[in-house]
Copies of this chain bind each other. A is one copy, B any other.
Amino acid sequence: MTDCELLSVDYLLSCAAEEDPAEKARGIALEQTVELPGRAISPAVRERVVGRVDPPRPLGGGRWTVRIDYPLAAIGGELTQLLNLLFGNVSLKDGIRLQGVRWPASLLRELGGPGHGIAGLRRLTAAEGRPLLCTALKPMGSSVAELAEHAYHFALGGIDLIKDDHGLANQPDAPFQARLQACAAAVARANAETGGNSLYLPHVTAGYAELPRRLEAAREVGCRAVLLNPWVTGLDAMRWARDQYGLAIMAHPALTGSYFRSEHGLSPELMLGDLFRLAGADAVIYPNVGGRFGFDAATCAAINDRLRRPLGGLAPAFPTPGGGMDVARAGHWVERYGNDTILLIGGSLYARGDLTAASRALRAAIEPGA
């Protein structure tokens, strides 16, 4: 077995006084593969299946870093088993945090990554040389007509990506099918008036049987992109949607927050950067520093890097910081994050009342030379 067929995982271990980090690391390698004590398995199985554990290196304060190399044969080429190998059972244990993974080329090819990526989303919106703008149709409880009216005004004002709020599903106030048709038509009408290329992204998250119907319906009305909560549908459903429908996908981080502890879980850049990108997200929403959620500046920078960095043949994906971002600070974020960013600004546009004027002001603030 050659080196390129290994999945190298870097862990941060937090050890209690009586815990031996090397034993803890060996325990992880066994737990995530054979689920038996080391003494109960044959040398052949150990050699072929159990991860190879490097000696842990101390970071001080009971914290250690350790690398485990798993044979790719333990995954069998499936995203579901990859998730299970990475964090299935150890999610139930304490003091284990996955910091990062060195992805083998064959696994990257198998998973495939974004179907459109940054370049593809730029083509769809005809937006070059500047960041893209995204906003959300809200609030839940609004009628279809109200949401479509918002969509129209945002498109008129030049917002590139107009998505449903991720809480809009198929509630009686604005059922999916009616909302889809009205909002797609509203954005098309605005585009016809302005000559613009705004996209409406319906939120398609739904149960197993319903998901394909929503994706199909979105394609039928001419949508080119959708919003999806991959941790709600199962991560592989996003990959399947990418292959089946050809729609660009913006991924939302709903339900993922519990994995992001400093001493437990997965690093946000591994989950929202690597895993979401590998599974086909063209853009990934994350809670920006200084907003109403808690990521720090370094985490945001790390997510941006993981989404955009060269990674096998995978297309780069758009970081989409959001969550309490302000129109007035848009220029600051562009300067900080660069052009290959989607700025997701919702409430701050609504607070200005006139959505078209607010959108135009935002667009002006991020145009080159503005």
Q: List A residues at the B interface (Cβ < 8 Å).
A: 31-37, 40-41, 44-45, 48-50, 73-81, 83-85, 87-94, 136, 138-142, 165-167, 169-173, 175, 205-210, 229, 232-237, 239-240, 253-261, 264-265, 287, 292-294, 346-347, 350-351
Asked if A240 meets B139 with Cβ closer than 8 Å, knowing A255-B91, A347-B37, the reply is no
Q: What are the residues of chain B within 8 A of A77 when measuring CB–CB?
A: 170
* Bound CA span A324–B37, Å: 10
Asked if A293 meets B92 with Cβ closer than 8 Å, knowing A73-B171, A78-B206, A234-B208, the reply is yes
Asked if A206 meets B255 with Cβ closer than 8 Å, knowing A49-B139, A73-B173, A139-B45, the reply is no
Residue of B nearest to A209 (CB): B240
Chain B proximity of A269: nearest CB distance (Å): 15
Chain B proximity of A325: nearest CB distance (Å): 13
Q: Contact check: which of B75, B234, B253 meets A233 at CB < 8 Å? A: B234
* Bound CA span A47–B103, Å: 49
Beta-carbon contact of A83 and B258 below 8 Å:
no
* Bound CA span A23–B53, Å: 47
Q: List 5 A–B pairs whose Cβ atoms lie within 8 Å, in order of A's numbering.
A: A35-B140, A78-B206, A81-B167, A84-B167, A88-B232
Q: What are the residues of chain B within 8 A of A257 when measuring CB–CB?
A: 89-93
Prevailing SS type, chain A contact patch = loop
Q: What are the residues of chain B within 8 A of A36 when measuring CB–CB?
A: 138-139, 346-347, 350
* Bound CA span A166–B92, Å: 14
Asked if A81 meets B165 with Cβ closer than 8 Å, knowing A34-B138, A49-B140, A74-B140, the reply is no
Beta-carbon contact of B207 and A92 below 8 Å:
no
Q: What are the residues of chain B within 8 A of A140 when measuring CB–CB?
A: 33-35, 45, 49, 74
Asked if A92 meets B294 with Cβ closer than 8 Å, knowing A170-B76, A236-B208, A261-B258, the reply is yes
Q: What are the residues of chain B within 8 A of A255 when measuring CB–CB?
A: 83-84, 87-88, 91
Name the residue among A172, A205, A261, A265 with the largest chain B CB count within 10 angstroms: A205
* Bound CA span A234–B209, Å: 12
Beta-carbon contact of B208 and A45 below 8 Å:
no
Chain B proximity of A216: nearest CB distance (Å): 14
Beta-carbon contact of B33 and A84 below 8 Å:
no
Q: What are the residues of chain B within 8 A of A173 when measuring CB–CB?
A: 48-49, 73
* Bound CA span A31–B293, Å: 11
